[in-house]
Amino acid sequence: MAIKNLSSMDWLRYIYDFESALAEFTGAPYVVTTDRCTHAMELCLRYQKPERVSIPRHTYLSIPQTLLKLGISWDWTDDEWQYEHPIGGTTVWDSARLFKPKMYVPGRRQCISFGLNKPLEMGIGGAILLDSQEEYDLFSKQRSDGRDLRVAPWESAGSFPLGYHYWMRPEDCRQGIDRLANGQYRMHDEYYYPDLSKLVIG
């Protein structure tokens, strides 16, 4: 994903360089970075538009909160998981705790996290691993208010898909490039989530 004609916008190269480095590491044909893993999953769910899904009762709170926001119903499952789990009924995977070479599985939209206590820990950030160029083109615009960040001035694009302010900061992407190059990542230890089915959500 080469960046051309950026001149004074050279800092943008860190976003695309980090995505390229992640693609090479994970084996995903395309990668779209976001400001957090939850927003990565939100973009994927908005695209797929399921009416009802299934999720483990032991998972992080942002998953059912996102489903509520999108008007998606869900069923709880007793599935146990360690590093990733599917959003049942979709091709979206919560892979927030998985990070290893060639981890990408074709046909999935795998969403990873760079948050606190995650394998490639930077405190914030996430990404979508996918194999569709069409979806890559759409998600990479949607995460930045509908803009293609490589187009300047941005208004010259003329038209913009529905977008969200979900893009990962270039300085965080630069940190990610350095950490990945230096092997500063690990597989996450087992982590316990409470039983969300026993809580009042929404």
**pLDDT value at 2 more than 70:** no
In angstroms, the first-to-last Cα distance of the chain is 40
pLDDT digit string, tens, across residues 91-145 = 999 999 999 999 999 999 999 999 988 999 999 999 999 999 999 999 999 999 9
> How high is the pLDDT of residue 189?
67
**pLDDT value at 1 more than 60:** no
Q: How large a percentage of the chain has pLDDT more than 90?
A: 87
Tokens at 69, concatenated = 């926001």
pTM here is: 0.93
Q: How distant is the alpha carbon of residue 142 from its chain centre?
A: 12
| Alpha-carbon distance values, 31 to 5, 132, 135, 149, 199 (Å) | 22, 10, 10, 15, 34
- Burial track 74-109 (b if 16+ CB lie within 10 A, e otherwise): bebbeeeeebbbbbbbbbbbbbbbbbeeebbeeebb
**pLDDT value at 11 more than 90:** no
**pLDDT value at 9 more than 60:** yes
> How high is the pLDDT of residue 3?
45
Residue 10's Cβ-count burial label (10 Å; 0-12, 13-18, 19+) is exposed
Residue 98 to residue 72: CA distance in whole angstroms: 25
pLDDT digit string, tens, across residues 151-176 = 989 999 999 999 999 999 999 999 99
Residue 35 to residue 172: CA distance in whole angstroms: 9
Neighbouring CB atoms inside 10 A of 73's CB total 10
Element (H, E) at 91: none
Neighbouring CB atoms inside 10 A of 198's CB total 8
The mean pLDDT value of the chain amounts to 93
> How high is the pLDDT of residue 82?
87
